[in-house]
Structure 1
């Protein structure tokens, strides 16, 4: 159950948020009747006043919420680090939360951040129960950017920004075809999710242009899934290359091939996506779509700061450029 906020109390009591704040501060400017109505609403809703958070707000410390769907993934961790450092440089404090792809936890986390008076939020959202998260943000009126994944279609309220995933899929597939690949698989990514569809779309476009039939292996974007797919790729004699949904999947494929006596970069061409630090350090080094995620994080921090400090609302949707870093994993022969 979502924790009630000061806004919920104001609605229940039929007063403004500022009036509730005055009641909480024991201001003599509020009438006895209004004070009674507000306290009754607080009791009925189970609202608990957090005086420490109120003291933080009153000290004029800018607080930004950073909500990430999977901080275990190095791609998201690098993004979060870049955002946090840039926001710190701008004089704001950052509250960072990992939701572990759990939309219910995400909704509770954001409710708590709103209650603690965050000035704005940057959210890489979990999928599912969109209203629980974005509905309360709409009611609270807190500026919020959704990044890396577009979960709410209301980009007029929640501007969206991400690297150009479709272009990345095109670059990867074009490169593999240029190296002589005859049948290219796409490995990883949960079906029916927008981020999967975007990364897949560029790959599909290039294959259609060259008359190749796609081979799509949907699944969780993890090393374990990539390793599981190694057998399926090796057992298909026509399949000699793959684009992976992300580098974690690709690193799993490399491991799975090695465990079966095959070598990516010699027997099979492989391209990952995201270009995390480990891509350059794997064996063989992994070709990958480079998203410039650290610079992207700095850009998102600057965008939110401009929104908060100057009222410069971001455009509804932003796509940042990507490029392909070619390494030994895709250069058979």
Structure 2
């Protein structure tokens, strides 16, 4: 008796991926008719028989969402992921969550693995860089996919993008500090020339230009350690700088620590505004002013948009930006109560 044909044999014969064959077996409408015909012809040629009960035991059918996050160590992304996962769960969908740790090779590996395991959809906050194009593999597999918070693939007609209005946030922060009488305001944190950095800086540039002021930036990995180091550097080398808008709250919280170490009173001697408004911003001392990007609500909105797509065929818009607002606290407006 000859060796029984497998799904991998069918994929090789048809010139498609294993996940595409799986979608055909599930009678998914996501697969083009031409591809479906190729796979069906390969099955007939090889005499492939689909063991549906075994496939059910493997759990490779629908109902599984792939949620891929670039940095789960950052509380902002953690809150987003938790909110999205809970929204999916309420509708009976299980979620596989993966952290890529800003590594393109890990991102590609995770995407391939989730495709092989038959996820019904992807929600991806992608990492930057890498020579390959992981979204091409998703396109070939025909899996509905949203890019969130960061856009790395320009084909939003295939991979809709949703994020916050970061430009408005930077502008609000800049206008607030200028209204407090600050004239030497720096932007601190973020990797230089990355789209997300440029976007968060753009509103800051608008506010500075409108006020006839010169922008100044200090780039670096958006972490507490970088924020602390920059605060110590400013305290020693740039005493003329009066305020900072930080790429993220993690950078801003690091700056609070660094200035405390240097004997500079944040909020009085130096004003700071963060970005994201993670929970710790409201309990730090001094309490941190921040551009609020409601990550929990955003996670719910993203999940609901994906559910509408895969259950009702209502595709999200190519691009969607959610409003932000500025929460002023002691670090930029010294008072004993929050404003």
TM-score, with normalisation over the residues of structure 1?
A: 0.86
Answer whether contact 1:245 1:272 (CA < 8 A) is retained: yes
How much has 1:12 moved relative to structure 2?
Answer: 4.3
Asked if the contact 1:244–1:271 (Cα under 8 Å) also holds between the matched residues in 2, the reply is yes
**Residue 192 of structure 1: CA displacement?**
1.3
Q: Distance in 1 between matches of 2:65 and 2:189?
A: 33
Partner residue, 2:272: 270
The answer for the alignment partner of 1:35 in structure 2 is: 46
2:248 paired with 1:246: yes
Cα deviation digits, residues 190-249 of structure 1 (max 9, x gap): 011111010000000110111111110010000011111013322323210000000000
How is 1:145-160 mapped onto 2 (pairs within 5 angstroms)? 145-160=146-161
What is the match of residue 284 of structure 2? 282
Residue 55 (structure 1) aligns with: 58
Q: Tell me how far 1:132 sits from its aligned partner.
A: 3.2
Count of matched residue positions in the alignment of Structure 1 and Structure 2: 309
Q: Distance in 2 between matches of 1:280 and 1:18?
A: 48
Structure-2 change in CA distance of 1:66 and 1:6 (3 Å): farther
1:17 has 2:21 as partner: yes
Q: Distance in 2 between matches of 1:8 and 1:174?
A: 62
Structure-1 separation of matches of 2:66 and 2:23: 25
Q: What residue is the counterpart of 1:48 in the other structure?
A: none
Q: Output one character per residue of 1:138-164: Cα deviation in whole Å (capped at 9) or x when no partner.
A: 111100000000111111110000010
Matched, 1:225 2:229: no
Does the 8 Å CA contact 1:223/1:253 hold for their aligned counterparts?
A: yes
Distance 2:159 2:260 in 1: 44
List aligned pairs for 1:157-236, cutoff 5 A: 157-234=158-235, 235-236=237-238
C-alpha deviation, 1:262, in angstroms: 1.1
CA deviation string 1:87-137 (max 9, x = no partner): 000110100101100111111101111111111010000111274311101
Distance 1:186 1:290 in 2: 17
Q: Which runs of 5+ in 1 are unaligned?
A: 23-28, 40-50
In structure 2, relative to structure 1, the CA distance for the partners of 1:194 and 1:14 (3 Å cut) is closer
Q: CA RMSD in A?
A: 2.6
> 1:26: which partner in 2?
none
Deviation of the 1:331 alpha carbon: 1.6
- Distance in 1 of aligned mates of 2:207 and 2:143: 41
SS in 2 for 1:161: strand
Deviation, structure 1 residue 33: 7.4
**CA–CA distance in 1 between the matches of 2:98 and 2:247?**
24
Label 1:76 to 1:175 Cα distance change in 2 as closer, same or farther (>3 A).
Answer: same
Secondary structure of the structure 1 residue equivalent to 2:159: coil
Secondary structure at the counterpart of residue 153 of structure 1: coil
Scaled by the length of structure 2, the TM-score of the pair is 0.85
* Contact 1:6–1:115, Cα closer than 8 Å, also in 2: no
Aligned to 1:138: 139
**Structure 1 SS opposite 2:138:** helix
Uncovered stretches (5+) of structure 2, i.e. residues with no partner:
1-5, 27-39
Note closer, same or farther for the CA distance 1:13–1:177 as it changes in structure 2 (3 Å cut).
Answer: same
User: Do 2:13 and 2:42's aligned partners in 1 also have CA atoms closer than 8 Å?
Assistant: no
Give secondary structure in 2 for the equivalent of 1:329.
coil
Determine the C-alpha separation between the residues in 1 that align with 2:331 and 2:110. Answer: 40
Query: Could you tell me whether the CA contact under 8 Å between 2:14 and 2:42 is conserved in 1?
Result: no
Q: Identify the residue that residue 307 of structure 1 maps to in structure 2.
A: 309
